[in-house]
Amino acid sequence: MAFATSIVVPPPANGSTTMSPGSVYSTAGSRPPPAAFIEFIEAKFAAHGVEKVLPNAAVVEAHARRLIEQRSPTTHSPRSANSSPTKRDQVLPDDLGPVVRAYLDSHPSLAWDEALAEVIDRGME
């Protein structure tokens, strides 16, 4: 997919340019540098108060339980009526959502599920 953008060239700081100020430069068929494009999008999001999405508490809890179950060694299969509770049955903190949100705020490059996985791996600090 190619991005097509028209850019109005501002006057240069040092006064020298191969394009005159105010002229239009088309980037049709080329891609903007990935880092510059990401910075542009993030700046627009920040300007409009857009934050990363964190699903509702039920979704966060269900995913946390899946992650806990995936990370715990299985000692028996399938679970019998006499078996002890698994790590999936452990009590999760009521503030799991806010803990994940705080972790996301301090690690903005992560997606919510990555932040949740790190919170769980660190013992839900």
**pTM exceeding the 0.75 threshold for the entire prediction:** no
State the pLDDT at residue 122.
86
Residue 100 · residue 112 · CB < 8 Å: yes
Which has more confidence, 121 or 78?
Answer: 121
Express each pLDDT in 5-63 by its tens digit.
Answer: 555 555 556 555 555 555 555 556 666 667 888 888 888 988 998 888 899 999 999 99
Q: Give the start-end residues of each E strand in the chain.
A: 6-8, 24-26
Convert 77-111 into a string of H (helix), E (strand) and C (coil): CCCCCCCCCCHHHCCCCCCHHHHHHHHHHHCCCCC
State the pLDDT at residue 32.
62
Token pair 């239009």: residue: 24
Please give the span between the terminal C-alpha atoms of the chain, in angstroms, as a whole number. Answer: 42
Express each pLDDT in 97-122 by its tens digit.
Answer: 999 999 998 998 899 999 999 999 88
